Amino acid sequence: MKRIYSVLVENRAGVLCKVAGLFWRRCFNIDSLAVGETDDPKVSNMIIVSSGDPRTLEQIEKQLNKKLDVIKVKTFDESESINRELLLVKIRCNRNNRRDIMETCEIMGATIVDMSKSVLMIQMCDTPERVQLFLDVIKGNSIVEISRTGTLALTKCAEPRN
């Protein structure tokens, strides 16, 4: 079972280390971690994806709420949110496979953002599942380098009730 934690924290040195230490000390697993400043430069938002049994996931939320640097913790399931991940990947190419790689990019919604005679750099922003599917499809090619952001998520927009 997976759970997404949106954790607003004070934007200070050492806060990420404290939160990661909480997971380490309690042997909780972090599937994905992305951190960025919010519209307020004094506050950062950590998006942490973790998996485990329901009791473990509940313990993670309780422990996060106990941290002094944590301002607010929101939890939600993947079905309650819009999730995106950014992928940058360099693939070795030649005359024989370049067209196939470009067609795969077009079908999957990926974009070629840089290229040389022998390497293509591809960008994809989609759900974590689609990013993984894209990687599975292109793994027959020689992958030079990969960089992934981890999951970013926000709860779905809800219409106000009258």
Domains of the chain: 2-76 (3.30.70.260), 83-154 (3.30.70.1150)
| pLDDT digits (tens), the chain, 162 positions | 889 999 999 999 999 999 999 999 988 999 999 999 999 999 999 999 999 899 999 999 999 999 889 999 999 888 889 999 999 999 999 999 999 999 999 999 999 999 999 999 999 999 999 999 999 999 988 999 999 998 999 989 876 665
The count of other CB atoms within 10 Å of the CB of residue 52 is: 17
User: What confidence score (pLDDT) does residue 160 get?
Assistant: 60
pTM: 0.82
Specify whether the CB–CB gap between 65 and 9 falls below 8 A: no
User: What confidence score (pLDDT) does residue 77 get?
Assistant: 81
Dump strand ranges (E) for the chain: 2-10, 32-37, 43-51, 70-76, 81-92, 111-115, 119-126, 142-148, 152-155
User: What confidence score (pLDDT) does residue 85 get?
Assistant: 96
User: What confidence score (pLDDT) does residue 152 get?
Assistant: 93
User: What confidence score (pLDDT) does residue 162 get?
Assistant: 56
